[in-house]
A and B are shown apart, each in its own frame.
Chain A
């Protein structure tokens, strides 16, 4: 079997998105949720680069990917900080405990 680089990239993107969405759907531990989110975003980053290459505008794809890296890092940092606070406040990392606004 002979795969082109683009095809490989598509498979990698779909794999990363799949893993990420699965983690978000199935896990209730906040740390796992953040890890899942990271994996998901890595998939989309790769997709930006691939899209840039396919359209023939490599620099645009790269700069979008760079932007995503920066934003993604901030999301991870703040998400982890919130997790620490939640652990202190609720004594658990279970997302099920975070439905107090609903009541």
Chain B
């Protein structure tokens, strides 16, 4: 059974991608319908996979001796992320029916979205490192193509290329790590690697561990690669919700969680992971406090929350990090889609022009507030439970200074979340924007996500059991809901965090009286608005890549004779190596 559902949840979106593209842009209605049908079917297939979770490979494609078998294992980590990718994916597609109404080139849009969903499922289910890399790159490619969907807008094209280049740097780290592992074990099977990581030479294991950390940081927009994600906000909003909040950016966290048992004994690795997560959470939260673009605020908050997950892994809380990933996917997709409804209605992303939109769009305001409260970590929404679990794991397994910073960031999160909600929906109208409430398809997906935000924390027990039963190497302690609740409500970490969150809220409430403090912090806020100089670093990486590519263009003459000469030279070198070397 599991094999069928694995193949279906990868195959259905890819088949749908082909069909939507083949139908052609002159039939937009059919394209909308096809995309919704195929993404919902994929969601159903992935959900059906959950009861079939197992530790053994369910699908195996033998492809000869060199690559090993292409295997897919439906273990807890994989099936849960597959379900998140397909279900949030189908909701984003349903939302797109209204959001992308009247757009040209829907074929390109839906084909890329469906292609992405299938690749994401493949990425989390496969247990072959080479295939992990292949799916990893497909998701990066789809992300690039969708960020640059409005390819007549230079900002969108630039943002897409930046995202592509930065995530490629991570891809190099992943490939290098995978090849190192392969050269020692002669197999790409990642469970074999995890079980036998101790037998590798320490230096090799450390190189692989830090290669994977670079890969994860670049993919999940973590320090010091965090600036591609805000620039990726040029994508249509359902894409931001699906790829840049709920699924693809989680791939880095997934990679760290998957390989945690292999790398946890590498000296310095867990500390490095904690520092990466902590700095990302802190810097991004500070930037979110001064951003004025609605989607950018959400993008910074995504970086910040991903920082929490990375931090939790560094502190040994794989379960806490995955549970926060789950909660975050739901409430951030909700926030992004609600923001999309606002942007769709008023036609701007600048929060300085908004204000008092709540009266015109009460439904959107209601669901946005639910998402915002979950982001701020207020009980009893899903964000509260998972964030407390993360903080508790950090207190037990991580250094105390990191814990202090993360609690401070929880306060900042509450502050900027409230600022964002207030600027958009409350206060006084700062310009004459005419909003209309969300349309039917938008309401369906927003409503379902809001329901999820209110209830997914109830799944903590089964979720923990699923991970515990199918991931023996990760040593996950599963507790039923009642005990988790008891543990959270008796832990001092919870009350410290809630107190700090309350302080964050108070700061926004009393912002007029705290004006003196605010002016003292202008230097900090200017630095935050300039993204602390990392923008320049990442821009440097991008332009260096582009310049070297431009320089290498000389070798691409396009002339047959020169190409033949190149082939001949290569042949001579190979023969020379065979004859004299090794």
CA distance A95 to B568 in the complex (A): 19
CA distance A101 to B557 in the complex (A): 10
A2 contacts which chain B residues (CB < 8 A)? Answer: none
Q: B565: CB under 8 A from chain A?
A: yes
A101 contacts which chain B residues (CB < 8 A)? Answer: 558
Which among A24-32, A59-67, A70-78 touches the partner chain?
A24-32
B558 touches A98 (CB 8 A): yes
Q: A33: CB under 8 A from chain B?
A: yes
Q: Which of A64-98 contact B (CB under 8 A)?
A: 95-96, 98
Q: A99: CB under 8 A from chain B?
A: yes
A99 touches B559 (CB 8 A): yes
CA distance A99 to B493 in the complex (A): 66
Chain A residue with Cβ nearest B565: A25
A24 touches B558 (CB 8 A): no
CA distance A17 to B223 in the complex (A): 54
CA distance A99 to B558 in the complex (A): 5
B561 contacts which chain A residues (CB < 8 A)? Answer: 24-26, 28, 95
A95 touches B560 (CB 8 A): yes
In the assembled complex, how far is the CB of residue B557 from the closest CB belonging to chain A, in whole angstroms?
7
Q: Which of B52-92 contact A (CB under 8 A)?
A: none
Chain A interface size, as a band, is 10 to 19
Q: B519: CB under 8 A from chain A?
A: no
Interface string of B535-559 (1 = CB under 8 A from A): 0000000000000000000001111
Number of B interface residues in the complex (CB < 8 A) = 9
A24 touches B559 (CB 8 A): no
A102 contacts which chain B residues (CB < 8 A)? Answer: 556-558
In the assembled complex, how far is the CB of residue A53 from the closest CB belonging to chain B, in whole angstroms?
21
B560 contacts which chain A residues (CB < 8 A)? Answer: 24, 28, 33, 95, 98
CA distance A21 to B565 in the complex (A): 9
CA distance A101 to B561 in the complex (A): 16
B568 touches A21 (CB 8 A): yes
A99 touches B564 (CB 8 A): no
A21 touches B564 (CB 8 A): yes
Chain A residue with Cβ nearest B562: A25
CA distance A21 to B560 in the complex (A): 12
Chain B residue with Cβ nearest A21: B568
CA distance A98 to B556 in the complex (A): 13
Chain A residue with Cβ nearest B553: A102
Interface string of A40-73 (1 = CB under 8 A from B): 0000000000000000000000000000000000
In the assembled complex, how far is the CB of residue B6 from the closest CB belonging to chain A, in whole angstroms?
36
CA distance A82 to B556 in the complex (A): 22
B564 contacts which chain A residues (CB < 8 A)? Answer: 21, 24-25
**Given A21-B568, A99-B559, A102-B556, 4 new contacts (CB under 8 A):** A24-B561, A26-B561, A95-B559, A101-B558
Query: Interface residues, chain A, CB within 8 Å of chain B?
Result: 21, 24-26, 28, 33, 95-96, 98-99, 101-102
Nearest 10 A-B pairs (CB), nearest first?
A: A99-B558, A102-B558, A24-B564, A95-B560, A25-B564, A25-B561, A25-B565, A21-B568, A101-B558, A96-B559
